[in-house]
DNA sequence: CTGTTAGCGCCTTCAA
DNA sequence: TTGAAGGCGCTAACAG
């Protein structure tokens, strides 16, 4: 309603709209310093802001990147959104975030919306089953898949950014081994997604390397209600897995949760069973979500360098071609030792 | 890149662009059924999506609402963003979310961006100190303040949506009173914000009504590092407040955290001090964030009806005028009894 | 019921 | 340096 327009600025500054446009687009060399100053003042005085719709209509792109996540209510993705926003702000561009609630139809619709909005590119932290669709989108704008590396490699049109999940799990194993644990378990839901498969692989490789006994506890997803919003499911699965952990044939003295949510669930379950962490049992997660810190005891975990990953993701969108499809984009995880791991009782 | 345009659809369907436009804007009565069918097919065949920038440039508004939160890494605001997105989707519109990191400058900049983007309205869950600026924005588009009622009422141009914080605190007090507690405490940082002041007022009123002893524990904000991202601060403050709780002169048997984050911190602190919740001490929060459930024991709390509040917020943006500035917009909180409260030990 | 047409605000030649 | 002018894709009169 009654926003100032470029012509108003031009009139007030006593210059042409062309100069204003040049000013707005940082072509300072094409005007005298005093012109520049006058323009600056006029813009400030009017509170002028270029209309992005018009600009986009003309140039074809918006200074905006899209972000898809399963749900912002999920702590990990909230943090991711934060990191992407921070990264985008460094490029002077906005983020439009959508929760897909893991609904493929909604996912498709939302991608189309983003395209209609002229998004420069799309970062997706939402694991699609329909990768062909993703590839189609990728022909229209750069698509960066966050933490869902392998699924998409085959198409070769999508770049990916991911923590090295194999290394992450290995880091957890090595930490436990160094503490003296000889029998450990990995607790995970059925590893359908490839990042979970990677973590599983890392676990098995590291266990073999260290000569440990490694048991796999598959938490049956039907044991807890699905929850597309906040991922309470993983927490509940972890909690109910605690009993199986204690009853396991290999008598593990430590467990790795496939991620922090699961580890926190395990921690609560163990305590409800009268076990004390880390005195009776060691526990370690992966991701380093905020509540790892708020857990009692503070959860030892393997951190994903989210901000660095987000920076790379946005960079790839702003400068596609810089990275070729399928190239590395693998980030090194970092062990964060807190208080949920200790040497096993002898 | 090479998106189909409205003319392409018109050509393929063998009709005029007007009809396509009518179709897109749901003016079905202005065309024959067979025309409608042809259009439908043509759109599907081309995968056509109207360009939102062009549409917005023409109509002046985008099907988009802005959302400002301190940080999406904060569990509560992640959930809020989720709820707003769900509400907006029901109106067929998108959400552009920004984290302000509680930086007034960024807040201002982001509001301006939103205006430049043609946002239909702005929901802010971010407590500004500069309410005049907010009022200025409100002259350009509807602004709905989420959970920061009183600060803004004086301007009369901004509508607000908030839980009844007085009632929320009272609900907590009454629950504890009903369990038999006679001396309780409220733990809060210095109540600068007005929703905290409301909670404090509700606490004091309810305590007086029930004839209890009510102590106020002000957690000194300097005791924990500030954290604009994830609000670890409140957690840490709660944790360090546990000792003061146990040493308090009024010998409280239960505590209310000003919100869940604080209550969870208190819970962890109490346990580290060897106290068992709820056997030795009862604990209750306010908000009902997800981790109230993941806390051990599951935290009794007072829930904000976030989705209903979000629906109302979006409604006010879509149909401004329906609600007059400053009108109620107060929502009833709900007591969620879980396992952190019990009768005091006799 | 359908076609024609004039902009929405900005960017970018182009000639002055 | 500047002014004029032609769109970007769509909508909404208005005239058929």
What are the per-10-residue average pLDDT scores of chain B (346 residues)? 81 89 86 87 88 88 91 94 95 91 88 89 79 80 80 65 96 98 96 90 98 94 73 90 96 97 96 95 96 93 97 89 61 97 93
Residue at token pair 């329909």: A130
The reported pLDDT for the residue numbered B325 is 46
| Whole-angstrom distance, CA of residue B199 vs CA of residue A269 | 33
CA distances for A318 relative to A63, A90, A124, B99, B165, angstroms:
9, 11, 15, 21, 44
B30 touches strand C (CB under 7 A): yes
Distance of CA B24 to the CA centre of its chain: 33
Q: Which chain C positions come under 7 Å from a protein C-beta?
A: 1-5, 7-14
Residue A325 has what pLDDT?
46
- pTM, to two decimals: 0.92
Q: In this predicted structure, what is the pLDDT of residue B144?
A: 92
CB contact under 8 A, A117 and B49: no
| Residue B109, phi-psi category: left (phi > 0), alpha (psi -120 to 50), beta (remainder) | alpha
C-alpha–C-alpha distance, residues B101 and B103, integer Å: 5
**Structure tokens of B9?**
């659809």
In angstroms, rounded to a whole number, what is the distance separating the alpha carbons of residues B87 and A321? 38
Is the CB of A219 less than 7 A from some atom of nucleic acid strand D?
A: no
DSSP A96: E
- Residues of chain A falling short of pLDDT 50: 1, 325-326
SS (H, E, C) B188-257: ECCCCCHHHHHHHHHHHHHHHHHCCEEEEEECCHHHCCCCCCCCHHHHHHHHHHHHHHHHCCCCCCEEEE
Q: Kind and range of the H or E element at B306? A: helix B306-318
The dotted CATH code for B6-50 is 1.10.260.40
Residues 6+ apart with CB under 8 A from A6: A17, A20, A21, A48, A50
**C1’ D13 / CA B29, Å:** 18
Contacts of B117 in chain A (CB under 8 A): 52-53, 94
Q: What is the rounded distance in angstroms from the CA atom of residue A228 to the CA atom of residue A107?
A: 13
CA of B31: nearest nucleotide by C1' is: C1
Contact by Cβ (8 Å): A237, A169? no
User: Distance from residue A201 (CA) to nucleotide D6 (C1'), in Å?
Assistant: 60
Give residue B134's pLDDT.
81
The C1' atom of C1 and the CA atom of B28 lie apart, in whole Å, by: 11
Which of A:46-105 have CB within 8 Å of B? 49-54, 56-57, 62, 71-75, 77-79, 81-82, 85-86, 94-99
Predicted confidence (pLDDT) per residue in B232-275, tens digit: 889 999 999 999 999 999 999 999 999 999 999 999 999 999 99
Query: What residue ranges of chain A are covered by domains with CATH 1.10.260.40?
Result: 6-50
- A48 is written with which tokens? 């002028």
> At A330, is the secondary structure helix, strand, or coil?
strand
User: What radius of gyration do chain A's Cα atoms show?
Assistant: 25
Q: Which residues contact A156 (CB under 8 A, 6 or more apart)?
A: A325, A326
Pairing of strands A143-146, A159-163: parallel
Strands (E), chain A: 64-69, 94-99, 121-124, 143-146, 159-163, 183-188, 213-218, 254-257, 282-287, 300-303, 330-331, 334-336
Distance CA A285, CA A35 (A): 59
Q: Which residues in A lie closer than 8 A to residue B62 (C-beta atoms)?
A: 53
DSSP A6-64: HHHHHHHHTS-HHHHHHHHTT-GGGS-HHHHHHHHHHHHHHT----HHHHHHHHS--SE
Residue A286: closest CA among A267, A264, A270 = A264
Provide φ and ψ at B302, rounded to 5°.
-115, 120
Of B82, B229, B291, the CB nearest to A82: B229
User: Which ranges in chain B are annotated with CATH 3.40.50.2300?
Assistant: 55-162+307-330, 165-305
Single out the residue of A246, A53, A240, A60 nearest to residue A140, CA to CA: A60
Cβ of residue A29 near strand D, that is under 7 Å?
no
Q: What is the pLDDT of residue A3?
A: 78
pLDDT of residue B129: 59
Give the strand pairing for B64-69 and A334-336.
unpaired
Spell out the CATH class of A55-162+307-330.
Answer: alpha beta
Helix (H) or strand (E) run with residue A309 in it:
helix A306-318
Question: What's the rounded Cα separation, in Å, for the pair B113 and A274?
Answer: 54
Q: State residue A191's pLDDT score.
A: 87
Q: Which fold has domain A165-305?
A: Rossmann fold (3.40.50)
Residues B278, B345 contacting (CB under 8 angstroms): no
Nearest C-alpha neighbor of B215 from the set B240, B168, B252: B252
Token pair, residue B116, equals: 């430049």
């Amino acid at each position: 309603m009654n926003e100032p327009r470029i012509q108003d600025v031009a009139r007030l500054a006593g210059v042409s709209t062309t100069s204003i446009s040049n000013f707005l687009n940082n072509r300072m060399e094409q005007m005298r310093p005093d012109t520049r100053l006058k323009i600056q003042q006029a813009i400030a005085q009017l509170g002028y802001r270029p209309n992005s719709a018009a600009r986009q209509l003309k140039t074809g792109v918006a200074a905006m990147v899209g972000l898809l996540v399963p749900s912002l209510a999920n702590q990990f993705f909230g943090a991711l959104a934060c990191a992407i926003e921070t990264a985008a702000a460094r490029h002077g561009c906005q983020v439009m975030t959508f929760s897909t609630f893991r609904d493929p139809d909604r996912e498709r619709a939302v991608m189309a919306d983003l395209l209609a909005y002229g998004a420069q590119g799309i970062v997706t932290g939402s694991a699609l089953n329909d990768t062909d669709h993703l590839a189609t989108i990728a022909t229209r704008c750069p698509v960066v898949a966050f933490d869902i590396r392998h699924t998409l490699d085959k198409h070769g049109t999508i770049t990916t950014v991911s923590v090295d999940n194999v290394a992450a799990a290995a880091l957890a194993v090595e930490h436990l081994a160094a503490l003296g644990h000889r029998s450990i378990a990995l607790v995970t839901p059925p590893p359908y997604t490839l990042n979970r498969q990677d973590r599983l692989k890392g676990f098995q490789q590291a266990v073999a390397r260290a000569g440990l006994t490694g048991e796999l506890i598959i938490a049956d997803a039907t044991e807890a209600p699905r929850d597309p919003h906040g991922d309470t499911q993983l927490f509940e699965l972890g909690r109910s897995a605690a009993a199986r952990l204690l009853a396991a044939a290999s008598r593990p003295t430590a467990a790795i949760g496939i991620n922090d949510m699961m580890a926190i669930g395990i921690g609560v379950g163990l305590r409800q069973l009268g076990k004390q962490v880390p005195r009776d049992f060691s526990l370690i997660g992966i991701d380093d979500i905020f509540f790892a810190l708020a857990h009692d005891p503070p959860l030892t975990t393997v951190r994903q360098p989210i901000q660095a990953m987000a920076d790379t993701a946005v960079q790839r969108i702003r400068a596609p071609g810089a990275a070729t499809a399928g190239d590395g984009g693998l980030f090194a995880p970092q062990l964060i030792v807190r208080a949920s791991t200790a040497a096993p009782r002898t």
